[in-house]
Structure 1
């Protein structure tokens, strides 16, 4: 038996041996999360990720979808925000499982909740690749990009990226299972049907969701930097370049620990059990953190998002204050007129 935390921050196990799961309970299970330092820390961290990611991405969706002019760039970032928003919406299931150390949401939700993590991972990295290629084409072939870069094509590319992400997320739905073990119900990865399934799934996710996309991104960035420096356009194009660089760096540092420990878990018998399981938990938590970092980078580094945020929020506050001021003025004017009439009668 080995441990595989395939959905962020909760206790999900991978079984490759011939374990038998029954509904009989031979052990009385009691949760220890609230008394365990690491578990409590991850629980608090996941709560912060949920709050910041859910409302932060909702803010980005509101701005990019309803307040900003629809462009190719806003199409990319809107899709990223939707991906992160959906992931954060499923975090409460993981948090409840952490506290109870019991999966009570059934088989269907076990498969869906796990699939959402990888849907978020693949869709995010594919969209970052698309944005990088789009930047590459705009810099290297500006005339062609100006004539062929359109909202319709951008929307079609986003749909293709999401479809590919869904296909690569299917193993979670296929291998995820629910069973009773050691007195409690768990949501786990069941690789007992095929000896090579576990290794194939992990390696395919690492290659398709990390290695190949980053190779493409780095190649695009290298050509972009060389081109901009040769044309002395680095300063003019620095802000969007910095935003995109920050998004790529955040994805890399958030997901790298997760992939490292998942690969180590393939040879779990060679490593200390406590270190491996703790690393898997922390790696999954860092992967989840990527979902709330993206909206922070949009708002604080993206000039368009920053201006739209200030304009939308401040204008609403000004309107609210103006309405309140007008209401008070009308009240005072009516009070003055009543007082005037009263003084006349007296």
Structure 2
């Protein structure tokens, strides 16, 4: 039996390999050299495993509650539509975590080729859809501040839903490489879910850079531009002290970039071989991917702890806090649009 690949660990969700080494094993030798490593014998792996279990439990519960509140308990609005889509994206991602948790425990992928491709696809679908939604919300805020009259007349739930569908479609398209290049390989009697880039010479570099550029750099620049415009506009109109209108949105954006920055950093390190030690890259990607996954359960936590008057209403229910936090964004935006519209209307009478 011939097995001609060198495995390089790339977090729970990404394995890659190249066929630069040749190893020939008979069936008997394969059984003899079969390595049954477990996550419980490695400190970092064990810590990552525990964190992933916590992320799964809190992510499913927290995002499930947000979906219930934003989707069924609250009145349909543009703002609830944004946050509902964000919660759905995080919920789907957290739903796939048990497969990767089991993979970490057993070091053996037993779920077949379809789930190997699907779990990786879902991870990047979550990454792209989340950041695209944050960009959309930032642009929405910017337009509302710059053109309040137009925004008040044209911001509708139907248009928001269409934009979200478009964002999900683009996110799915950018996540297709996970389906194309993800593969299950068998080595020393163990199945590995990994990336197989051997069919294309520069596929690894192109895909890694495209994820970094379209899933991190460009969205970051767009959000910075939007927030710069918003801040300047609010200061110019002397409305900067209007009750911290964008605090939840700001927290969501900062949290996303802090969670995903380590992952992208170690992907680039692995890509350009900045470290010769594969252990550093392996552990870095393992930790970076786990920190990125944490973003999926932190959003509901932010809704709770950044709702209005959290300390004063500490004894009230968690559901009320989440509903308050999501609704606060809409109420603040409505007040701002109303005030700005009346100011613009008065200004127009002098022309």
* Counterpart check, 1:134 vs 2:140: yes
Partner of 1:59: 65
Q: Which of 1, 9, 12 is the equivalent residue of 1:10?
A: 12
User: Which whole-Å CA distance do the structure 1 matches of 2:9 and 2:262 have between them?
Assistant: 14
Q: Which of 28, 35, 40 is the equivalent residue of 2:46?
A: 40
User: Which whole-Å CA distance do the structure 2 matches of 1:2 and 1:258 have between them?
Assistant: 19
Using a 3 Å threshold, how does the CA distance of structure 1 residues 128 and 197 change in structure 2: closer, same or farther? same
The equivalences for 1:215-234 within 5 A come to 215-234=221-240
User: Which whole-Å CA distance do the structure 2 matches of 1:138 and 1:199 have between them?
Assistant: 39
Shift of 1:300: 1.8
Q: C-alpha deviations, 1:305-325, integer Å up to 9, x for none?
A: 999x957858xxxxxxxxxxx
* Counterpart check, 1:301 vs 2:303: no
Using a 3 Å threshold, how does the CA distance of structure 1 residues 106 and 299 change in structure 2: closer, same or farther? same
Using a 3 Å threshold, how does the CA distance of structure 1 residues 12 and 226 change in structure 2: closer, same or farther? closer
Give me the TM-score of the superposition, normalised by structure 1. 0.84
Q: Which of 10, 29, 34 is the equivalent residue of 2:35?
A: 29
* Counterpart check, 1:89 vs 2:91: no
Q: C-alpha deviations, 1:134-167, integer Å up to 9, x for none?
A: 0000001000101111011000000000000000
Secondary structure of the structure 1 residue equivalent to 2:175: helix
User: Which whole-Å CA distance do the structure 1 matches of 2:309 and 2:119 have between them?
Assistant: 33
Shift of 1:304: 11
Secondary structure of the structure 1 residue equivalent to 2:239: coil
User: Which whole-Å CA distance do the structure 1 matches of 2:53 and 2:318 have between them?
Assistant: 28
Shift of 1:298: 1.5
User: Which whole-Å CA distance do the structure 2 matches of 1:179 and 1:83 have between them?
Assistant: 29
Partner of 1:153: 159
More helix by share: 1
Shift of 1:15: 1.2
Secondary structure of the structure 2 residue equivalent to 1:180: strand
Shift of 1:279: 0.7
Using a 3 Å threshold, how does the CA distance of structure 1 residues 237 and 131 change in structure 2: closer, same or farther? farther
Shift of 1:11: 6.9
Q: Which of 252, 255, 259 is the equivalent residue of 1:247?
A: 252
Using a 3 Å threshold, how does the CA distance of structure 1 residues 180 and 11 change in structure 2: closer, same or farther? farther
* Counterpart check, 1:262 vs 2:264: no
* Counterpart check, 1:205 vs 2:211: yes
Using a 3 Å threshold, how does the CA distance of structure 1 residues 137 and 304 change in structure 2: closer, same or farther? farther
Partner of 2:186: 180
Contact 2:8/2:278, CA 8 A, preserved across alignment: no
Q: Which of 269, 276, 282 is the equivalent residue of 1:271?
A: 276
User: Which whole-Å CA distance do the structure 2 matches of 1:41 and 1:249 have between them?
Assistant: 25
Q: Which of 145, 149, 156 is the equivalent residue of 1:143?
A: 149
Task: Name the count of aligned residue pairs.
Answer: 309
- Aligned CA-pair RMSD: 2.4
Q: C-alpha deviations, 1:257-288, integer Å up to 9, x for none?
A: 00000011012374322211111111001000
Contact 2:146/2:233, CA 8 A, preserved across alignment: yes
Q: Which runs of 5+ in 1 are unaligned?
A: 315-346
User: Which whole-Å CA distance do the structure 2 matches of 1:216 and 1:130 have between them?
Assistant: 10
Partner of 2:333: none
Contact 2:38/2:104, CA 8 A, preserved across alignment: no
Give me the TM-score of the superposition, normalised by structure 2. 0.83
Shift of 1:20: 7.9
